[in-house]
Chain A
Amino acid sequence: MNPPALNVRNLTTVFDTRGGTVTAVNDVSFSVGKGEILGLVGESGSGKSQTAYSLMNLVDRPGRITAGRIELNGHDLAGLGEEGWRRVRGRRIAMIFQDPMLTLNPVLRIDTQMIEAVQAHSGASRQQAREIARECLVKVGIASPDERLACYPHQFSGGMRQRVAIAIALIHRPEVIIADEPTTALDVTIQEQILFEMQTLARESGTALVWITHDLSVVAGLADRVAVMYAGRIVESGPAAQILAKPSHPYTAALLDSVPARNPRGVPLFQIPGAPPNLLEQADGCAFRPRCPKARAACADDIPVLTSGEAAVRCLAPHRALQEALAA
């Protein structure tokens, strides 16, 4: 049995702030198979972006990874030094950011940046690198790639820049691509184009894709599997269709209920009571406890993860769907 493309076990990242220690990523475990798309969903402060940075070892001070294994096709990346990580980043794992201006240097031409990306991990000549860059632009659906290569980022629209960012991510045919809210800032029709490209690419090249977003509808359309994060922990994960139709964790259920599409017109939307958690005041047990309609005394202790087939949930009182599955 082949190892999964990406296997994360018990990843923990903390930040030492003036106000105290914040555990931004708390014992996070998930895996993504080849050609599979995992949607990592959460709101602000859930830790999804920090998880992404941790996977590439890009966490800045005062943050640091304190525990966990990151396995890329079976190889553990934890022991790698600076040089080891440099060889992995861009070649075996690539990242796409929300703001393509963060990936693209505004003062360099596109071909310069892409050639640089090619030559970082291969001994290709300038001419060969340019060819590879050109091919990648075609792969992401950019017409007249030769003209585009000679342009500067500011001459492109947001959607075009994001495609270039994706093309750069694809240059070395990485095993895993991590996309951090790549279409959040884009228009709906452009987003659809990008989602189409990503879906095709994952299928054709066998690249595993981790798609981080707060938009449940995007995940519904794109992802094979979903993992929901709250206050740094994964509270639920499993096949997308199953989780979105029959969520087991009360937070997932509440989140889905507050989406406008799930509420009839004119009726007040379902509101999750309470406020998002303050990460500086993390207590033991379940972070959702103050807002959970089914909370009980036992929730103040460590919550075990219950699994049933492909799905997993970190809750003592999951919704009936999972209960039934567990009982069966």
Chain B
Amino acid sequence: MIPILELKTVSKRFTQKLDASTRLANLVGTPFGAKPVRQEIVQAVDKVDLRIPPGKVVGLVGESGCGKSTLGRMAVGLHAPSEGQRLWKGANLHTATQQERRQAQLKMQMIFQDPYASLNPRKRVVDIVGEAPVAHGLVQGAQKEAYVTELLAKVGLPSAVLRRYPHQFSGGQRARVGIARALAVQPELLVCDESVAALDVSIQAQVLNLFMKLRAELALTYLFISHDLSVVKHISDEVVVMYLGRVVESGPTEELFQRPLHPYSVALLRAAPELEAGKKVFRPISGEIPSPLNPPQGCHFHPRCPHAMPKCRETAPELVMVGLQRLTACHLHA
């Protein structure tokens, strides 16, 4: 089955370009022995392969600096990859025409994290949701209101809210408006970047249920990015675990949660607080998450890994298949 979206060996580097004054300072200062200011390069995503099967929910988990948000934005087309290819239903988007690319762009939409910042505070709901479909000719200007009302009903909001501004809504309602906005351009893939992280538990339940309902009704595919493992476990069919820009493990949800292979996955799953466990004796792994500006050599996880071998310091492990659909990047399982 052709994945609906495939990212092949994509990487993303963020460079902080030195401006003219810093370059001048470097030129003048270095003859006198001053240390030159170096360009800072962050390797946010490092040669990642991601395959999203149609109709499935792929969960993407990891902590700060793992690159999951950047990967999500590359998937949707908000960031251009520094290397690698993006294939939409098998077609390479780099070699596609402008027209094809624009069409594909509309088919993948992002649902953002912050329900407060992701809506334009100066626009009414009808304009927020209705602007794009009208601009792209999906709907005539005269039918905008009717179209938006229908969409709002799908996400569980009454038509009375059409003329309201974002600040008049609660967090959960704003999240729904954001979903309606994404649905307005009739997408096939939704990338949810921590979309329920800012919501209360009871509201989170409502929004997650909405995601599932829409998935069934509209045959949507999801890439669900979250740091909350219990949410990912509940909603995803497959899970991908990232650490400092690399994929360390992936596989079907049940299996991965029951039997994590990579030492980082083991630590992550064990650290996640659980409701059922009762009073816990914490046994944390040591060390801080390294800064993406200066990741450790070889395997990024080796300074914190309880099973680190000399090999881990030198070579970065490859992602290999260790079972049915199970991939892991670790010298222990090579």
**Direct touch of chains A and B (CB < 8 A):** yes
Binding site for B on A (CB under 8 A): 43-44, 157-160, 187-193, 195-196, 199, 214-218, 220-222, 224, 240-241, 244, 254-256, 258-263, 265, 268-272, 275-276
- Say whether A261 contacts B274, CB under 8 Å: yes
- B233 within 8 A of partner (CB): yes
Q: Which of B200, B279, B289 contacts A157 (CB 8 A)?
A: B289
> A270–B201 Cα gap in the complex (Å)?
11
A-B residue pair count with CB separations less than 8 angstroms? 136
- Say whether A218 contacts B273, CB under 8 Å: yes
- B63 within 8 A of partner (CB): yes
The interface centre, meaning the residue of A192, A218, A259 with most chain B CB atoms within 10 A of its CB, is A192
With known contacts A189-B284, A265-B233, A43–B200 Cβ distance under 8 A: yes
Binding site for A on B (CB under 8 A): 63-64, 170-171, 200-206, 208-209, 212-213, 227, 229-231, 233-235, 253-254, 267-268, 271-280, 282-285, 288-289, 291
- Using Cβ atoms and an 8 Å threshold, which residues of chain A touch B208? 260, 269
- Say whether B231 contacts A189, CB under 8 Å: no
> A43–B170 Cα gap in the complex (Å)?
13
- Using Cβ atoms and an 8 Å threshold, which residues of chain A touch B171? 44
26 A-B pairs, CB-CB below 8 angstroms? A157-B64, A187-B63, A187-B64, A188-B271, A188-B272, A190-B289, A192-B273, A193-B282, A195-B280, A195-B284, A217-B272, A220-B273, A220-B275, A221-B279, A222-B279, A240-B279, A256-B275, A260-B235, A265-B254, A269-B205, A269-B209, A269-B234, A271-B205, A271-B206, A276-B170, A276-B200
Q: Main secondary structure on chain A at its contact with chain B?
A: helix
Give A47 Cβ to nearest chain B Cβ, in Å.
14
Give B225 Cβ to nearest chain A Cβ, in Å.
14
Beyond A244-B275, A260-B230: 17 further Cβ-contacts under 8 Å? A187-B63, A187-B289, A189-B63, A189-B268, A193-B284, A195-B273, A214-B201, A220-B274, A220-B275, A222-B280, A240-B279, A259-B275, A260-B235, A265-B233, A269-B205, A272-B205, A276-B200
- Say whether B274 contacts A263, CB under 8 Å: no
- Using Cβ atoms and an 8 Å threshold, which residues of chain A touch B280? 195, 220-222
With known contacts A44-B200, A187-B64, A263-B234, A217–B275 Cβ distance under 8 A: yes
> A46–B267 Cα gap in the complex (Å)?
33
- Say whether A199 contacts B205, CB under 8 Å: no
With known contacts A187-B64, A276-B170, A260–B289 Cβ distance under 8 A: no
Pairs A-B, 5 closest by C-beta atoms: A221-B280, A217-B273, A196-B282, A187-B63, A260-B234
- Using Cβ atoms and an 8 Å threshold, which residues of chain A touch B213? 268
- Say whether B272 contacts A241, CB under 8 Å: no
- Say whether A160 contacts B275, CB under 8 Å: no
With known contacts A187-B289, A195-B282, A268–B209 Cβ distance under 8 A: yes
With known contacts A189-B271, A260-B208, A269-B205, A160–B288 Cβ distance under 8 A: yes
- Using Cβ atoms and an 8 Å threshold, which residues of chain B touch A270? 205
- Using Cβ atoms and an 8 Å threshold, which residues of chain B touch A255? 201-202
Residue of B nearest to A193 (CB): B284
> A260–B213 Cα gap in the complex (Å)?
16
> A188–B274 Cα gap in the complex (Å)?
12
With known contacts A187-B289, A260-B234, A265-B234, A220–B227 Cβ distance under 8 A: no
- Say whether B205 contacts A261, CB under 8 Å: no
Residue of A nearest to B285 (CB): A189
Residue of A nearest to B200 (CB): A43
Give A199 Cβ to nearest chain B Cβ, in Å.
6
With known contacts A241-B278, A260-B208, A43–B273 Cβ distance under 8 A: no
With known contacts A192-B282, A196-B282, A217–B274 Cβ distance under 8 A: yes
